């Protein structure tokens, strides 16, 4: 899920990129279209913090100059205003794109810090730009030539208006203040979680059942107790495997207090500021304010969708919980009617049921999915489906780390270079430690510009689990969306689609790793690799189905809470949560404060958490076209041409219609849920 969405920049994406295509002024773009090809060797990592600061100053000078030209109508004859605006987006991508990647992967702190400083300067510029009334007035007068221009023009107008360009000066100032405060409050909320220093001590006996790898390197006190923190890599394995209930309860309670009362207050402040922001624009709630520009359109539509999901999983959730309760009674040798399931029991008994019923241990998969072979495997899936070739880029490169590399993606029919994929495959100190994709440079057919993206993952060198292979394919899926796109404007390239559509293409592909016919591609890319046994795969598939009632109910609760929190009446965050969680089968545990650690809604997913479930509905519908053959080149080609190539220049519902030959619907999703 951790797609790195480029921040909205001059409308659309900050991207960045290959530093050699420097400072293309708007008026040159139309005439020198071929000048923006992505040369794979051109990712020149800045040598020093001073070099980054200099790049940053040049960027801001170029943007100020271009802005002044836009305001007074100074673009070159024959260049449209929209093209001139998109040239500013591309200019920004050229500098900010690589810097965004380097913040996450550069081994040098000075480089990372300088890149962050540049980002702050750029953000300050950006919020002023979107309130430029002279530029806005000129863009308002544009008469779009066709549907693509119309959508880009509409998105641009929305960006200006959501930044407050049409408001009175005092309100404009208030919008800038509110946005600054929101950024600061979000940083405080996230920092409290990141810098949490809660430590708990456990004896060896209290850790019975926990894999020793989780705690054996932890510090010990004179009594021999182990010190554990609240990192996910510690908390989740302990909750899944500690057989002593008091151990699970103590750790669960600490984890569900992360962020503390201070973060509840910060969350309340965030929601109040968001509500005020919405009201400045005449909207009754923040949910109304943001959903206007989403695929879902309105809070009513999202509420209706969530209610339907809830109805579909209600019975399944109760059945899942009953299976766990029976397992608990058996495990503790106690009568079922005296057995009550606690919140800290669900992960533990789910794992017991999975192991007992399906005999699946994810560790078993690593020997089949070695890292280099896994990377070539996901490439091969795309090659087969989309008629492309992914091969090491020929040119020598100077990248941020000796293990980072570049791949050229070419079209099999035309042999043309489509774009460049950078890959940083292995874990190391100070590197971003999840899996993500930066689509840092976007295509523009108008400018002859080729896209580039960076795939950053961290698998063990011993190999991947099946879950990790699924994640690799998911993130690479975002890369395909970026690299196979053929949009007129960079601001609408690839992943620059509406937030509640962006996950769907990657979520669709997740299913592919459970198909033996797809996994057979390993034999093509790694003849010496062992092929994963089909029964093991089938067990993993069944195991994945167990617990979906509980998972979807939880997702439903998070999404409903997020919407209610950003609704018309700003509630107390904890009171609202306690009320909503109390209405679930396992109830609310007094003193627990889940919202204090709910980073999604403190950050970019406010009034957007529903997008996770929404994207799954779209993904399931997209999959119906591949039901007969997940590797069908014909269907893959149609998908590439209708969905991936269009990026954000066509509305998602229209893309779905063009690909499926009918309007998108939720039947496949609900059928899968009821199986």
Cβ proximity to Zn ion, 1 vs 71, nearer residue: 1
> For Zn ion, which stretch binds (CB under 5 A), given 43-51, 452-460, 497-505, 557-565?
497-505
Binding to Zn ion by CB under 5 A, coded x per residue (else -) over 562-601, reads ----------------------------------------
Q: 596: helix, coil or strand?
A: helix
Cβ proximity to Zn ion, 52 vs 436, nearer residue: 436
Cβ proximity to Zn ion, 156 vs 507, nearer residue: 507
**Smallest distance from Zn ion to CB 456, Å:** 13
**Smallest distance from Zn ion to CB 545, Å:** 22
* Two tokens, residue 396: 């020598």
Measure the CA–CA gap between 481 and 503, rounded to whole angstroms: 10
Question: Following DSSP, what letter does each residue of 347-406 receive, concatenated?
Answer: HHHHHHHIIIII---GGGGTTT--HHHHHHHHHHHHHHHHTEEEEE-SS----SSTT-EE
**Smallest distance from Zn ion to CB 5, Å:** 9
Residue nearest Zn ion by beta-carbon distance: 3
Residues β-bridged to residue 658: none
Residues β-bridged to residue 411: 388
Q: 455: helix, coil or strand?
A: strand
Strands, sheet with 388-392, edge to edge from the N-terminal-most edge strand = 388-392, 405-411, 417-424, 452-456, 436-441
Cβ proximity to Zn ion, 3 vs 594, nearer residue: 3
Binding to Zn ion by CB under 5 A, coded x per residue (else -) over 261-280, reads --------------------
**Smallest distance from Zn ion to CB 416, Å:** 28
Considering the rule CB under 5 A, would residue 438 count as an interface residue with Zn ion? no
| β 452-456/436-441 pair status | antiparallel
Cβ proximity to Zn ion, 600 vs 637, nearer residue: 600
User: H or E segment at 460?
Assistant: none
Site for Zn ion in 376-435 (CB under 5 A): none
**Smallest distance from Zn ion to CB 479, Å:** 11
Cβ proximity to Zn ion, 505 vs 595, nearer residue: 505
Cβ proximity to Zn ion, 288 vs 503, nearer residue: 503
Cβ proximity to Zn ion, 55 vs 465, nearer residue: 465
Question: Following DSSP, what letter does each residue of 200-253 receive, concatenated?
Answer: EEE-TGGGTTS-GGGTTTS-B-TT-PEEE---HHHHHHHHHH---HHHHHHHHH
**Smallest distance from Zn ion to CB 424, Å:** 17
Q: Are 409 and 640 in contact (CB under 8 A)?
A: no
**Smallest distance from Zn ion to CB 497, Å:** 12
Number of residues counted as binding Zn ion (CB under 5 A): 4
Binding test (CB under 5 A) with Zn ion, winner from 3, 368, 489, 669: 3
**Smallest distance from Zn ion to CB 433, Å:** 16
User: What backbone phi and psi angles, to 5 degrees, belong to 407?
Assistant: -125, 140
Cβ proximity to Zn ion, 436 vs 490, nearer residue: 436
Residue 375 to residues 138, 224, 433, 485, 526: CA-CA distances in angstroms? Answer: 48, 43, 18, 21, 11
Cβ proximity to Zn ion, 1 vs 142, nearer residue: 1
**Smallest distance from Zn ion to CB 506, Å:** 5
Cβ proximity to Zn ion, 136 vs 512, nearer residue: 512
**Smallest distance from Zn ion to CB 167, Å:** 35
> For Zn ion, which stretch binds (CB under 5 A), given 165-173, 178-186, 459-467, 503-511?
503-511
User: What backbone phi and psi angles, to 5 degrees, belong to 101?
Assistant: -70, -45
Q: Please tell me what DSSP assigns to residue 339.
A: -
**C-alpha 497: how far from its chain's center?**
13
> For Zn ion, which stretch binds (CB under 5 A), given 88-96, 166-174, 236-244, 504-512?
504-512
**Smallest distance from Zn ion to CB 468, Å:** 14
**C-alpha 669: how far from its chain's center?**
21
> For Zn ion, which stretch binds (CB under 5 A), given 59-67, 377-385, 499-507, 568-576?
499-507
Q: What is the 3-state secondary structure (H, E, C) of 127-161?
A: HHHCCCHHHHHHHHCCCCCCHHHHHHHHHHHHHHH
> For Zn ion, which stretch binds (CB under 5 A), given 13-21, 500-508, 557-565, 603-611?
500-508
∠ CA 548-551-556, rounded to 5°: 120
Cβ proximity to Zn ion, 36 vs 620, nearer residue: 620
**Smallest distance from Zn ion to CB 435, Å:** 9
Contacts of 402 (CB under 8 A, 6+ apart): none
Binding test (CB under 5 A) with Zn ion, winner from 346, 506, 543, 646: 506
**Smallest distance from Zn ion to CB 463, Å:** 22
> For Zn ion, which stretch binds (CB under 5 A), given 53-61, 264-272, 355-363, 505-513?
505-513
- Tell me the torsion sign for CA atoms 415, 416, 419, 424: positive
Taking only Cα atoms into account, the Rg of the chain, rounded to an integer number of angstroms, comes to: 26
* Two tokens, residue 166: 């049409």
> For Zn ion, which stretch binds (CB under 5 A), given 249-257, 345-353, 501-509, 552-560?
501-509
**Smallest distance from Zn ion to CB 647, Å:** 16
Which residue has 């529903």 as its token pair? 610
> For Zn ion, which stretch binds (CB under 5 A), given 1-9, 161-169, 264-272, 586-594?
1-9
- Tell me the torsion sign for CA atoms 338, 343, 349, 353: positive
**C-alpha 424: how far from its chain's center?**
18
Cβ proximity to Zn ion, 56 vs 295, nearer residue: 295
∠ CA 24-29-34, rounded to 5°: 100
Cβ proximity to Zn ion, 408 vs 482, nearer residue: 482
- Give me the residues that bind Zn ion (CB under 5 A), please: 1, 3, 503, 506
């Amino acid at each position: 899920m951790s797609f790195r969405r480029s921040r909205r920049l001059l409308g659309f994406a900050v991207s960045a990129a290959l530093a050699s295509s420097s400072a293309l002024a708007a008026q040159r773009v139309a005439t020198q279209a071929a000048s923006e090809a992505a040369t794979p060797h051109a990712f020149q990592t800045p040598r020093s913090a001073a070099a980054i600061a200099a790049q940053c100053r040049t960027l801001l000078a170029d943007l100020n100059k271009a802005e002044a030209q836009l305001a007074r109508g100074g673009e070159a004859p024959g260049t449209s205003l929209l093209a001139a605006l998109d040239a500013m987006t591309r200019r920004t991508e050229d500098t900010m794109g690589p810097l965004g990647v380097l913040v996450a992967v550069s081994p040098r702190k000075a480089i990372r810090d300088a890149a962050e400083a540049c980002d702050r300067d750029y953000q300050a510029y950006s919020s002023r730009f979107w309130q430029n009334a002279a530029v806005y007035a000129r863009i308002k007068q544009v008469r779009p030539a066709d549907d693509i221009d119309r959508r880009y023009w509409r998105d641009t107008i929305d960006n200006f208006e959501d930044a407050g360009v049409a408001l009175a000066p005092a309100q404009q100032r208030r919008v800038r203040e509110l946005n600054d405060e929101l950024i600061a409050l979000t940083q405080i909320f996230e920092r409290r979680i990141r810098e949490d220093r809660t430590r708990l001590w456990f004896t060896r006996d209290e850790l019975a059942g926990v894999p020793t790898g989780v705690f054996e390197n932890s510090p010990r006190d004179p009594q021999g107790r182990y010190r554990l923190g609240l990192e996910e890599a510690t908390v989740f394995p302990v909750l899944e495997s500690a057989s002593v209930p008091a151990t699970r309860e103590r750790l669960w309670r600490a984890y569900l207090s992360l962020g503390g009362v201070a973060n509840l207050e910060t969350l309340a402040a965030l929601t109040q500021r968001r509500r005020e922001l919405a009201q400045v624009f005449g909207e009754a709630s923040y949910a109304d304010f943001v959903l206007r520009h989403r695929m879902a359109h309105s809070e009513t539509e999202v509420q209706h969708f969530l209610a339907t999901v809830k109805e579909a999983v209600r019975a399944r959730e109760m059945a899942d919980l009953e299976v766990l309760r029976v397992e608990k009674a058996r495990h503790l040798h106690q009568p079922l009617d005296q057995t009550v399931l606690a919140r800290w029991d669900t992960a533990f008994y789910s794992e017991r049921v999975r192991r007992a019923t399906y005999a699946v241990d994810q560790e078993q998969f690593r020997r089949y999915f070695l890292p280099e072979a896994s990377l070539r495997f996901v490439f091969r899936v795309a090659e087969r489906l989309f008629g492309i070739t992914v091969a090491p880029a020929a040119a020598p490169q100077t990248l941020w780390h000796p293990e980072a590399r570049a791949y050229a993606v070419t079209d099999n029919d035309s042999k043309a270079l489509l774009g460049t994929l950078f890959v940083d495959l292995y874990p190391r100190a100070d590197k971003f430690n999840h899996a993500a994709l930066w689509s840092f440079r976007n295509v523009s057919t108008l400018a002859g510009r080729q896209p580039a993206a960076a795939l950053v993952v961290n698998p063990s060198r011993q190999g991947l689990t099946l879950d990790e292979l699924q994640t690799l394919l998911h993130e690479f899926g975002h890369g395909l969306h970026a690299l196979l796109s053929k949009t007129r404007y960079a601001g609408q390239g690839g992943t620059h689609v509406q937030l509640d559509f962006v996950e769907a293409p990657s979520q669709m592909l997740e299913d592919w790793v459970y198909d033996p016919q797809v996994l057979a591609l390993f034999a093509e890319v790694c003849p010496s690799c062992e092929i994963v046994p089909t029964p093991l795969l089938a067990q993993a598939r069944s195991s994945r189905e167990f617990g979906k009632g509980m998972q979807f109910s939880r997702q439903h609760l998070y999404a409903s809470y997020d919407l209610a929190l950003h609704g018309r009446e700003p509630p107390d965050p904890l009171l609202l949560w306690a009320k909503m969680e109390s209405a679930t089968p396992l109830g609310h545990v007094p003193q627990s404060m889940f919202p204090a650690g709910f980073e999604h809604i403190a950050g970019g997913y406010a009034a957007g958490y529903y997008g996770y479930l929404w994207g799954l509905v779209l993904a399931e519908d997209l999959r119906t076209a591949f039901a007969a053959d997940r590797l069908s080149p014909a269907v893959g080609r149609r998908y590439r041409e209708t969905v991936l190539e269009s990026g954000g220049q066509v509305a998602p519902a229209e893309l779905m219609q063009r690909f499926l030959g009918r309007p998108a619907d939720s039947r496949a999703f609900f059928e899968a849920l009821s199986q």
